[in-house]
Amino acid sequence: MAITKLNKEMVDLLTKVKKHLREKHQISISLADPDVLDKLVELRGLPDALLQGMLYYLMALAGPEWSAKINRPPATGTAPASAEEHREKKLFSFRQSNTETAAPAQETADTQKKPVRYYRGQPIYD
């Protein structure tokens, strides 16, 4: 992992890449992730010409070592060919709300309990 200082042009381009990945490929990246450039190098196999152009330009701005990484051919069998395979590998962290995972358990518990009345914002238990 090489630490690269990002200038304003690189941050603007990263923001565009993030928005493009989210809209077109349903992949979410975090700009605060220290390995964001490494993860973007792994996405070079996606069949998207606009994304490839943005990635190559970003790596050129990052420096010669990043340009060499993006120009290196992907190892056989390690780079997924589609966005769906990338999502399956879970290269990026996805934010899920706690309500999605806890909703079925709450529904069963709520149907078995008596309804709670509220008076002036305070619950009243019978």
Q: In this structure, is residue 1 part of a structural domain?
A: no
> 46 lies in which domain range?
8-124
Segments of the chain assigned E as strands: 117-119, 122-124
For 116, which DSSP code?
P
Q: In this structure, is residue 36 part of a structural domain?
A: yes
Q: In this structure, is residue 81 part of a structural domain?
A: yes
Q: In this structure, is residue 19 part of a structural domain?
A: yes
| Bridge partners (DSSP) listed for residue 117 | 124
Question: Mind listing the pLDDT tens digit for each residue in 16-67?
Answer: 999 999 998 888 888 888 888 888 888 888 888 899 999 999 888 888 888 8
Residue in 66, 79, 89, 71 with CA at minimum distance from that of residue 13: 66
Q: Which residue has the tokens 């220290």?
A: 34
Q: Which residue has the tokens 């304003």?
A: 8
Q: In this structure, is residue 3 part of a structural domain?
A: no
Kindly report whether the global pTM for this prediction surpasses the value 0.75: no
Q: In this structure, is residue 25 part of a structural domain?
A: yes
N-to-C CA span, the chain: 60
Total domains present in the chain: 1
